Amino acid sequence: MAKAIGRKLRCGVIGLGMGRGHIQGYQSHPACELVAVADMDEGRLAQAKAEFKVPHAYTDALEMVKQAELDVVSVATPNKFHAPLTIAALKAGCHVLCEKPMAMTLAEALAMQRTAVACRKKLGINFSYRFSAMSFALKQQVDAGLIGKIYFGRTVWHRRRGMPGFGGWFGNKELAGGGPLIDLGVHRIDLALWLMGHPRPVSVSGSTYNIIAARKAREEKKHYSVEDLAAGIVKFDNGATLMVEASWALNNNENEHMVTSLYGEKGGLVQKNRNGTYDFTAEIYTEEGGNLYTKVLDQAVTQPPNAYHDFVDSILQDREPLAKAEDGIRVQMILDGLYRSAAEGREIRFK
């Protein structure tokens, strides 16, 4: 039961693709009841209502937010609707867990955070790749000082061919805000920033390309108005540098390649996926007594919190969620800067 209000928290989910995971997250928390779902796709709405036995279903998300007397709302729609729906839900008195990317632009992300502060509600961002045993084990070692100050890194997610829902909203700049950088890159940037202790970006320089996806779009007569590859360099206020790469289509040797390598004064770490799967390995490199060691993480014993449960617990315990609005804003600064840098052909410096 929710300590603060003496009853279960009433939860609602908007957008029933990834939102189905949010439903399961809330339904498995003992202090929550999932009372409403919203999706403009009536088929998906009916399916979720029946499958998860949800009392109320809405085709209009704003109507749900106004009528369903909710404490918690998840926003899991195409990116364009993250900011307006989050702001509407916060203003209606709900805590909001918004999917990544936080928003289409930094300005939107800042407006979301300002609204959360003004309404005194929690705002969390679903940076789900932090919430794994491997990521937590590495974070533990960084926090224990094994790596020392991290001064250089590289964080990457490449797909050989993997434009999600080709021809749909993911490849439409109006609805998505960008391509693989805003979709996949956000996860790897967030993971790197979290492990690095969230230094503040001071400048970025980036390039975007649309070669392979553009060719396919012409051949298949599909809409595609975002990049298929983005790459860039980010410099931070503590002197550290991070290289960022993200693609949905690249003439690479692996179908799915994720790697985050961070190099510190005392050690280095690499978190990467195994053979194109979503199974990860973690290694740490150190020098001890003049000898160079490679430590391979065999088993991670610390179970990470479930992302949805962490958000609910942050409400019950009146603390910040693990992945908070400020973290989303740091990532969004980098996304905005890289896209602007690519468009204007120059380095972007942040004030």
Ligand X SMILES: NC(=O)c1ccc[n+]([C@@H]2O[C@H](COP(=O)([O-])OP(=O)(O)OC[C@H]3O[C@@H](n4cnc5c(N)ncnc54)[C@H](O)[C@@H]3O)[C@@H](O)[C@H]2O)c1
Residue nearest to ligand X (CB): 17
**Which member of 41, 143, 174, 220 binds ligand X (CB under 6 A)?**
41
* Buried/exposed 210-245: b ≥16 CB within 10 Å, e otherwise: bebbbebbeeeeeebbbbbbbbbbbbbeeebebebb
Q: How far is the CB of 29 from ligand X (least distance, A)?
A: 18
Half-sphere exposure of residue 97: CA atoms within 13 angstroms, side-chain side: 32
In the 8-state DSSP scheme, what is residue 282?
E
From the CB of 341, what's the least distance to ligand X, in Å? 22
SS3 category, 212:
helix
User: Which of residues 15 and 179 has its CB atom nearest to ligand X in the complex?
Assistant: 15
Distance, CA of 231 to CA of 244 (rounded, Å)? 5
- Rounded to a whole number of angstroms, the minimum distance from the CB of residue 128 to ligand X is 4
Q: Judged by CB under 6 A, does residue 245 bind ligand X? A: no
Please identify, using beta-carbon distances, which residue of 57 and 212 lies nearer to ligand X: 57
* CB of 15 vs ligand X, minimal distance in Å: 3
Q: H or E element: which one contains 349?
A: strand 348-349
Residue 4 Cβ vs ligand X, minimum distance, rounded to whole Å: 27
Q: Which stretch binds ligand X (CB under 6 A): 36-44, 131-139, 230-238, 322-330?
A: 36-44
**Taking contact as CB under 6 A, which single stretch among the options 34-42, 130-138, 227-235, 329-337 is the one that binds ligand X?**
34-42
Spatial contact of 35 and 12, defined as CB atoms under 8 Å apart: yes
Nearest approach, Cβ of residue 127 and ligand X (Å):
7
Segment interacting with ligand X, rule: CB under 6 A, options 76-84, 212-220, 240-248, 278-286: 76-84
Residue in the structure block whose two tokens are 């009853």: 7
Could you tell me whether strands 150-159 and 256-264 are parallel, antiparallel, or unpaired per DSSP bridges? antiparallel
CB of 142 to ligand X, least distance (A): 22
- Considering only 11, 68, 72, 99, the residue that binds ligand X (CB under 6 A) is 99
CA distances from 5 to 10, 31, 142, 316 (A): 11, 11, 37, 9
Pairwise CA distance, residues 349 & 102, whole Å = 21
- CA pair distance 65, 13, nearest whole angstrom: 10
17 touching ligand X, by CB under 6 A? yes
Stretch that binds ligand X, among 70-78, 242-250, 285-293, 313-321 (CB under 6 A): 70-78
Where on the chain is the footprint of ligand X (CB under 6 A)?
A: 14-18, 38-41, 44, 61, 76-79, 81, 99-100, 126, 128, 183
